[in-house]
Amino acid sequence: MRSERYNELDKKSDLINKLSSLMIYFTLYSMIGWIYEVFLEVVVYRWGFSNRGVLTGPYLPVYGFGALVFLLLVYPIIRNKPIISKIIWMPVVFLLCMAIATAIELGTSYILEYLTGSWPWQTYADYAINFQARIALSPSVRFGIGGVFFLYVLQPLFEKLSGKMSDKSRTLVALILLLIFVVDFLHTILFK
């Protein structure tokens, strides 16, 4: 009876740790997405700076959401595999990330249009291969490359860093990040 109770506590603790780690990863990838978008805007296209996000903070939740989907659906293919196996799977990982990110971007454009009347990347109309200016081939390829970079380089690094945190610290950081997102989301919905 006592060991069953400890098993339940261990399962609950494991779930909290996994959710906390996912929240931290979500935030990191959301911020990386924002940096990427601002870099494109300022350095590559030379349009000047603007907050690329739909929220106030320096993050794009669509990148965080996409990264979590990659982690849940694609990362198990290569996680903890020998390097040769990871290399063999790289084209499949690229195609999966490209397809998933494109589907998320398309869905997000419809959601944002419904909620706000537009979506931030309407410039896709200028791309040779696009669908309703919502998705385009060139960004989709970049998302596939980015997904490979996330899963092969960044995620193992983030897992090591997260693994060095105590359970309490990880949970506290995740709760603070969640609170920031919730407040920012409510601020955006109510006051913009």
Structure tokens at 4: 């069953």
pLDDT score, position 190: 77
Name the nearest CA neighbour of 124 among 116, 109, 134, 114. Answer: 134
What global pTM score does this model have? 0.82
Q: Looking at residues 151-179, what average pLDDT do you find?
A: 94
Q: Provide the pLDDT confidence category of residue 84 given band limits of 50, 70 and 90.
A: very high
Distances, alpha carbon 151 to alpha carbons 1, 94, 132, in Å:
41, 10, 30
- The answer, yes or no, to whether residue 52 has pLDDT greater than 70, is no
| Weakest-pLDDT range from 19-23, 41-45, 118-122, 186-190 | 118-122
Band (pLDDT 50/70/90 cuts) for residue 49 is: low
User: pLDDT confidence of 112, banded at 50, 70, 90?
Assistant: confident
